[in-house]
Structure 1
Amino acid sequence: MTDDERWLVVNGRRWRRTDPCLPEDVAAALRSHLGRGRSAVGAGKRSGDDERVADARRRVGLAKHGLGERGPRWWEQPEPERIERARAALRELEALDATDGHDDRPAAS
């Protein structure tokens, strides 16, 4: 595997790519959680709600770990561990949605 397959460079800054071995349905669900979490960070900042920002950042972190963009380098782990890491992150995110009643999607205008 080459560095081009592991890293994305934007404006001179290197970002870890999403783990390519993840099943598409799992990766898509994690990307959805990531997008909603990022949106909630912005909404929390705009409203001055530090607790909402912290909760949303936790969700962003979980999604990024699941995608392999944070945490252990995915290319250094066996594929079954990588897939289980993603599925575990997704289960945790879905459990948070189910138990806290907190919807990170931005409110409709």
Structure 2
Amino acid sequence: MGKGERRRNVAAPSQTVWQTARVRVDDETWAEWRHVLGERSVAEALGAYVELEVARARKRRASRSEISEREAVEVLERIEATQATLEKLVNRLEGRLPLRRD
């Protein structure tokens, strides 16, 4: 595939566009980090790190009342989705346990 073909293959707005990045660390640090990751992919680990940092930044902005109304709605939607996921996990885990007597 030539450069011209790559430029024409632009993702539609509704598609996820995967971002790539280079990491600047010494070889020893990289080797140790790869060992720590085990079977987990580098892409997955870096993606989780990016999401964590973005969540922290959003939390800081929210605590300083620096978020827009749109961002506030997005935060509430993420909270609702997380709440639904947690509810499903609790139900599934409770289903695996014998009946508890309190």
Normalising by structure 2, report the TM-score: 0.30
Select the structure that is richer in strand.
Answer: 1
